[in-house]
Structure formats: structure tokens, C-alpha cells
Amino acid sequence: MFFPITIWMLWNDRDNMLWRSQATTQKKIFSFFTKMEAFQGSRDDIAFQVGLMWSQIKEPVMVPLLRVAVFLCLFMSLMMLVERVYMGIIICLVKLFGRKPEKLYKWEPMKDDVELGNSSYPMVLVQVPMYNEREVYQLSIGAACGLSWPSDRIIIQILDDSTDPSIKELVQMECSRWASKGVNIKYEVRDNRNGYKAGALKEGMKRSYVKQCDYVAIFDADFQPEPDFLWRTIPFLVHNTQLALVQARWKFVNANECLMTRMQEMSLDYHFTVEQEVGSSTYAFFGFNGTAGVWRISALNEAGGWKDRTTVEDMDLAVRASLKGWKFLYLSNLKVKNELPSTLKAYRYQQHRWSCGPANLFKKMVMEIIRNKKVSLWKKIHVIYSFFFVRKVVAHINTFVFYCIVLPATVLVPEVVVPKWGAVYIPSIITLLNAVGTPRSLHLLVFWILFENTMSLHRTKATIIGLLEANRVNEWIVTEKLGDALKGKGGCKAPKKIRFRIGDRIHMLELLVGFYLFFCGCYDLMFGKNRFYIFLFIQSFAFFIMAFGYVGTFVPNNT
């Protein structure tokens, strides 16, 4: 009797337990769905609140601000277009009428004088500033010592600011080797690096033997002039007393190393083919490129010598000499071999200096240029408006702000419309005009546009730093040269193992702009009608590639 009762009680307990378990499960399920509904309601509420806030500020605030931004950007685009078209017309006239330097200025080859001998030739100083140039010091010293000129009328001055004792020793040994061959070469060092390159050049000019020199030729450590360089430049200075500078063109020996060097070649070829040629041919103004040029020492001294107040000491000197009434000559047919920065890190540092320095110099000298009484009004307008404002300020800021900030923002605010001539036609014309300098790279125009737009972020930041004289305004980091370092290591191929360092390889600003463009592209794809998303997606990927450092040559750590 007891056993059946026990079974019955256990069976009832089992039913009760199952019922309680089911009830508990049902409560948990009900609670879960209740929470989910609450979360969904909360999420919908947040989305509603955000949408409400956006609708409240879009019409009275965002639309007017964006319209003003579009107007300013279109105006700056027109300024850039007019500048490019003007230079395009001038360069066409120069080529059409054959305005060669020999027609603009007197030029006669240097001749021997039987009575005076070599003393009839002017004394020339050749300066080669260096800083830890392990990879290229032999090439540059060898090229400088190989210049053809009467041996007793030339002095080679190696200005070594190296901080690495082993490199210093190598440079000194190389100088001694050339001295043993009869070359008049001077190895100069100093106790500090004050003023960087400008400080080194200024210190070099203080040497007693420089007083006997009439002209100074300057070559950076990666430049290799041809032996006849002085025979082709010095006669212009000798026969034209109004000339202060003769500037040669750059020829890039590693332009084919990687895609990044090809993009640099396109930008710099336009600078040398058009900008420098126009400035020289119209007697207006063009900047000294800091190397591959010959200065009249008396003009250099009259302008105040080298100053280190900005990171573009070459441009500073050129502007001051121009304000004294001196003229410059550019020789497009005289090319000096040099090396482009092929690593992204080196290129970013170079572009910071090249963008920050001119903007800072513009701020320091604009009033001095306006008050100057020695130069014509035309030259003042050319220097202030064309050379500085449009090329060094407007071009950088407008490229980034318009195409990477304002234009994508119009996708989110459809009430603001960018006219097709401003969004498509103007940039297309500017791009085609830029391609004139490097016709062999026409098929790379799309890559060049994406690369320049991406780099415009870095240049805009540097330009603003220069104008505001903010932190890093005087930052000077020597551009790294690779020389023959990668030969035998696969050229520009990346090594199998690369140490991934977040600080070196991830650039947060580029990453943020990439996400912004990608978001705008997605929004335009879903809700827009102007099809900007094609450009926005491609440009965002370009920013991502740059953000993760997958641009340029990868150098092994042991190089």
C-alpha cells in the first residue's frame, strides 16, 4: 500500500515541478520580450529625438552655413581655375614664340684669357649641406667634386650636421679621399644644429675663404649635377649683372619606384614645367627651390643672407632678394638628378614643411611686400596673390574642405545644391591642365586626384599651423633618402615580415575622414539622387589606404 502511494505522490510532485518550471520559463520569456520592447521603444525614442534635433537645426543653421561654405569654395575654385588658365596661356605663348633664356638674357660661353689665365674665371663656391646621409653622401660628394671648372677657381664645401659619429667619419673620409686627388674640398662641422639647413649654410658663408668667391652653387645631399652645370649657369650671372639666381630643373631618378613617386612626379613636373617657367618668362617672380641653383653672393648678402625664421629658408631668401630688385632666371633645359621621397613617413614630413613654411612666411612678409617701393605693383600682386595666396594657401585648403568636407555634406543636406560646373567641370579642367607637365602619366590621373585629395588633409593642417604659428610651425625633419639601400632587396617590394607599429602605421585623421566619406556615400546611395556616392566610396577607400600606411615603399627595419 505504501509503495503505490509513494509513486502517486512523486508523480504529483513531478507534475507540480514541471508546471512550476513552465511557469518560470514563461515568466522569463515574458520578461525578456518586455525588456526587448522597452529597449526597442527606447532606441526608437533616441532615433526620434536625434531626428527631431537634426530637423530643428538643419533648416535654420546647417543649410545657411553650408550654402556659405559652398559659395566660398566655388569662389576659391574659380580663383584656382583662373590661375591655372592664365599660366597655361603664358606657357603656350612661351613655347610658341620660343622665348628661350638665351633670348631673354645675354649668354656667351666662358673663354680662356691668355694673359690672365684662370684668374679670368670667377671664383665659385659649391655648398653641399648634409645630415646623416648614409645612403647618398658618396653620390652627392662625387657629383660636386666632378663639376667641370678650373680647379683653382672652385671650392667644394661639405656642411656636415650629422649627429651619428659613424656617418660623420664616413663623410670626412670621403672628403679626404677627394682632397688627395687634388680637389679643393672643405669639410665643415659645427657644435649645434641651430637653424637647421639655413643655419648650416649661413655658418658656411662665414668662412674666410668664402670672401674670395663670387657665386655659390647649392646642392642638397641627394642631388647629382652634371659636370657641365657651372659652364651652363655661370655665364648668365657673369654677363647679366641684374641676375641674382639661376635655377635649374629637377630630374627624378626614382620616379618609377612606386605609385607614390609617380604621383609626386606629376605634381612637381607641373611646378617646374609651368609655374617656374611662367614666373621666369614674365619677369614676375618664382621661388628658389633650395637646391640645384647658383646665387650671386653679393645679392645673397644684400638680401640679408640666410634666415631660419621659417622652414622654407630658400623661399624666404628669394622673396627678400626680389624685393631688393634682383631678377631670377629659370633654365628648364638644365636638369639635375635627385631622389623623390619614396616612403609615406618621409613624404608626410616633407609636405608638412613645404605647406607650413610658405603659409608662415606669407604671414610674416605680406606687409613688408605691400610697403616695398623698389618693385612694381604688378610684381607685388603676383607675389602676394598668385604665388602665396592662391598656390600656397587657397589651393591646399580648398582641395580638402570642398571635395572632402563640404561636397559630401551636401548629400546629408539636399536643400543645398552644388552646381555641376563647380563639382565636375572646374576640377576636371584643373586636373587636365596639371597633366600637361607629365604626359606619360595621363592614364594615372584618377589615382593622382585621389592621392592629392588625401594628402590635402595633411597640407591643410600644415597650412593652418603656419598661418596661426601653432605647434610644429618650425618643425624640421630632414627628408629620408634611400639611395641604393633597396637594391638587391626586391626594389620597392615589401619585405615578408614588417613590424606593425600602430603609432607609425595608423593615421587617425585620415581614418576619421575616410569613415565620414564612407557614411556620406552610403547615405547618398540609399537616399540621394546626385550619385556622388561613386566618388565618395572611391575617395574613402583612398583615405583608408593612406590611414593604414599602405602607400609608398616599405623599408626593412635593418636598412
Cell numbers of 174, please? 670621403
Residue 325 near residue 241, CB atoms below 8 Å: no
Distance of CA 290 to the CA centre of its chain: 15
Helix axes 196-205, 313-323, angle to 10 degrees: 60
Q: Going edge to edge, which strands form the sheet with 243-252?
A: 185-188, 154-160, 124-130, 215-218, 293-296, 243-252, 327-338
**Torsion angle, alpha carbons of 126, 127, 128, 131, to 10:** 170
- As a whole number of angstroms, the distance between CA 510 and CA 542 comes to 9
314 annotated active-site: yes
- Residue among 222, 269, 314, 524 flagged as catalytic: 314
- As a whole number of angstroms, the distance between CA 479 and CA 230 comes to 26
For cell 673663354, the residue is 111
- As a whole number of angstroms, the distance between CA 412 and CA 519 comes to 10
Cell numbers of 312, please? 622654407
Alpha carbon distances (Å) from 288 to 285, 318, 330, 368:
10, 6, 9, 19
Backbone phi and psi for residue 240, each to the nearest 5 degrees, phi listed first: -135, 95
Distance of CA 398 to the CA centre of its chain: 15
Cell numbers of 336, please? 639635375
- As a whole number of angstroms, the distance between CA 552 and CA 494 comes to 10
- As a whole number of angstroms, the distance between CA 329 and CA 235 comes to 12
45 annotated active-site: no
Tell me the residue type at 193.
Answer: R
Residue 124 near residue 217, CB atoms below 8 Å: yes
Alpha carbon distances (Å) from 501 to 495, 506, 531:
15, 8, 38
- Using DSSP's 3-state secondary structure scheme, residue 49 falls into helix
Distance of CA 344 to the CA centre of its chain: 11
Residue 130 near residue 148, CB atoms below 8 Å: no
- Residue among 160, 161, 269, 316 flagged as catalytic: 161
- As a whole number of angstroms, the distance between CA 134 and CA 30 comes to 74
Cell numbers of 17, please? 515541478
Residue 198 near residue 218, CB atoms below 8 Å: no
**Torsion angle, alpha carbons of 275, 281, 283, 284, to 10:** -20
Q: What are the catalytic residues? A: 161, 314
